[in-house]
Chains A and B, each alone.
Chain A
Amino acid sequence: MTNTWYLYLFFAAALVFAGLLGLLGKRNLIKLFIAIEVIGKGISLLLLSTGFAKASILTAQALVITYIVIEVSLVATALALIINIYRQTKSLDIRDLAKLKG
């Protein structure tokens, strides 16, 4: 079981790191949000694989479903914010948000 757990943890860490790199390097707001989604995928894989390895898959499933519901709410709100930002600045560039002139 430890070998399987190792495999899942290895790939979950890779997903989280890929998302972090995307967050650091990209400038498009939608791209940044896709990177956050990738980090979320890594976290849900980590949760479920730990539940699988520790023989508590049912609790892990309940946690992952809670996370997915929160994710949907977060995505809807964040994409609405992105659309509003685009209407204000006519751009999706994150650097335009650094100019806080009114």
Chain B
Amino acid sequence: MVLQTALLIGLVIFSVLAILLKDLLKSAIALAAASLLLGIIFFRMNAPYAGVFEISVVAGLITVLFILTIALTGAGHDVRESKLVNWVFPLVFVAFIVIDALVMKSLLGKVPALPSGTEAGTFGDVLWKGRTLDLVGQIAVILAGVFAVLALFRKRDKHD
């Protein structure tokens, strides 16, 4: 429980750093560190498959994509961020944390959620038999992403 809390605190700290750091490269690396911590949290919640996906895909692939974009766009030095945000962000965030700590416990019984029930079978059974339509949707989403990237990097042909 203590380790899990420490991991969650680390996750929030790295996520806030990813937003607040001025250097985009450091932001991307902080985001990767947050993903890594989230993956470890998933492992500790008996969800190894989600943990593996989180670490390999989000902490690995998405970070590479971010770093590639930062390299291609020259790190965005031209953008002048508002200085007010650096003061306001921590203050409002701390205020929200206090409100969150006070309110969340009373919300627990009121948030609608499925009733507790024990699941039968393995993860493979649930994914392939219970959520088959999700898998079809995933294939469609990946294809849509591939075609979108192809369309966005299309070269002009001679007739244009």
Contact = CB atoms under 8 A, between A and B. Distances in A.
Interface string A3-29: 011111111011101110110011111
A90 B8 CA distance: 38
B66 A30 contact: yes
A72 interface: yes
B79 interface: yes
A93 B47 contact: no
Nearest to A94: B79
Nearest to A35: B19
A52 B137 CA distance: 24
Interface in B97-137: 97, 100-101, 104-105, 107-108, 111, 113-119, 121-123, 126-127, 130-131, 134, 137
Contact of B134 (A58, A62, A86): A62
A57 B76 contact: no
A38 to B, nearest CB: 5
Contacts of B18: 34, 37-38
Contacts of B61: 72
Interface string A56-86: 1111111111101111111111011111101
